Amino acid sequence: MARFKLILEYDGGPFQGWQRLPHGQASVQGALEAAICALTGAAAQVVGAGRTDSGVHALAQVAHVDLQKDFRPDRLRDALNAHLRPAPVCVLQALAVDSSFHARFDAVQRVYWYRILNRRAPPALENKRVWQIMRPLALEPMQEAAQSLIGTHDFTTFRDANCQARSPLRTLERLDISREGPEVHVWCAARSFLHRQVRSMVGTLIEVGLGRMPITAVQQVLAARDRARCGPVAPACGLYLAGVDYPAQGQTGPQPLK
């Protein structure tokens, strides 16, 4: 058996999320496994670094797969991309790795990027890839409020009711907010996240940016450990899995083709 690490880009819009689902529902994992079966003639399980929700995109999702036949990595990449068409999923890079590599358990950090289009005019080119907020957002209050979320906390307030994680404790390493032209970008990094944690935090910080919630309220909302205190959950369309870090290989971001 040969193990390969795959770096993936996809538009999450047409999918019900990463995880393979019963009854033929479209999933990213299912599309990849179908492409592998078409290429090799054998079923294989693809293991992802994270289970993105329905509608969430990826710039550099990481997965691994074991194949009975060995491939030259660049040929595997190209062959899988041919079989993936027309699904909006592509393999940016395929790498031969040791059989001990595990895309999920070896990851030491996951980086998410949230895009907010902050203007009156609707998105023509980025429809379903950004969350549009038409009213002006005040960045400084959002940035100040975000500081209270960095570090190790009980994130029950920002945890989906159906989250299956054993503990609500998570360590948020990074929560940066910046403006790029008409867009406001939120960058989050942690070893792992609770279900819908990023979208819940973004939705609450938007309330601060719109002046509906004072800066100090975010710390109080976090301390309450009460899901009912969370702001509106930001829509999936603006969220991207931007990269995954591993101890040996370093950061996995969007890779140029060779």
- The Cα–Cα gap between 204 and 190 comes to 18
- The Cα–Cα gap between 138 and 59 comes to 27
Assess contact for 101 and 5: CB atoms under 8 A. Answer: yes
- 158-163: long-range contacts, CB 8 A cutoff, minimum separation 24: 158/194, 158/196, 158/197, 158/200, 158/201, 158/204, 158/222, 158/230, 159/194, 159/195, 159/196, 159/197, 159/200, 159/227, 160/194, 160/195, 160/196, 160/197, 160/200, 161/227, 162/195, 163/194, 163/195, 163/196
- Selecting among 53, 106, 154, 245, the annotated active-site residue is 53
Map tokens 């592509």 to a residue: 90
Structure tokens at 124: 């023509």
Active-site annotation holds for 53 = yes
Map tokens 């002046």 to a residue: 211
Q: Determine which helix (DSSP H) or strand (DSSP E) holds 203, and give its type and residue range.
A: helix 197-209
23 C-beta neighbours (distance < 10 Å), count: 4
What is the end-to-end Cα distance of the chain in Å, rounded?
A: 25
Report DSSP letters for 209-236, one per residue: HTTSS-HHHHHHHHHHT-GGGS-PPPPG
What is the set of active-site residues? 53
